[in-house]
Amino acid sequence: MHDTKMMEKIENGAGFIAALDQSGGSTPKALKGYGVNEDAYSNDDEMFALIHGMRSRIITAPSFNGDKVIGAILFEKTMDGDADGKPVPTLLWERGVVPFLKVDKGLEDEADGVQMMKPMPELGALLERAKANGVFGTKMRSVINLASPTGIAAIVKQQFEVAGQILDHGLMPMIEPEVNIKSAERAQCDAILLEEIKKQLDALPEDRKVMLKLSIPTKANLYEPLVEHPRVARVVALSGGFSRDEACAELAKNRGMIASFSRALLQDLRDPMTDEEFDQALGSAIDQIHKASTVKA
């Protein structure tokens, strides 16, 4: 059973979801963008301590609260860590921000135009820990590179199968079959993906809902049938490599979709900033992304 207050915030909150879930593979790039080069750490533990410091600085900043940020996706080590002397999920919800957890273990090599999720043999134990820590939902990513009907069908099927396991543990799954925005077949990928997701949604029992995290479609409002589907709690958009200005401009064209940005949210934040400068830059990003999520062209 989902927490009713968190469910209300996610389904109806006027805001967006921050993606603070960079994994081991993407952490060096995130740190470099923050102004911390690889010579600042000598092993994974030091690297993760630095990225945790960055995330802690974000979620404790005055501008980061539930007024405009309705949720935040965490990396596993962040979920297990503290910020401001409190467990991160606890602190987030005290600030009105619903906590989510990234649960996938990365991507398989491309086959049939897509990259499936790697096996997750320890998923059950992770879900139990997340639930005990006060986490509301999960996020898992796979990638679509080509307009392969069989590949896209397989990727959506895998996502919904794992979503069933997540729902069984009382958590809300955020399904993320990302369409590569650099794909020459992006528009065709979007169209095939829409139909495959609708098939899976229509097969869900009436008492079950999922969230969808999708690339912003090439055709504005293409995903409106998913926004309006009774089995969907919320449709969120990833920035997918767009700059914040580009991502916000595209998102504003799509009714009902809200942001779940990572790089586009963090792109102006730097380690040497004073706390005041940091909060000002973060607040400016939050305002821009919130507007694109709530005010539609």
Question: Helix 275-294 crosses helix 244-251 at what angle (to 10 degrees)?
Answer: 30
Instruction: Name 114's Cβ contacts closer than 8 Å, sequence gap at least 6.
Output: 142, 143, 144, 145, 146, 148, 151, 152, 154, 155
- Residue of 176, 178, 196, 250 marked active site: 176
Whether 122 is catalytic: no
- Residue of 68, 77, 139, 213 marked active site: 213
With 0-12 CB in 10 A as exposed, 13-18 as middle and 19+ as buried, what is 33? middle
Is the separation of the CB atoms in 99 and 79 below 8 Å?
yes
The two tokens of residue 229 are 């589907």
Whether 118 is catalytic: no
* Residue (of 215, 221, 209) closest to 186 by Cα position: 215
Q: Give the phi and the psi of residue 236 in degrees, each rounded to 5.
A: -120, 160
The catalytic residues are: 176, 213
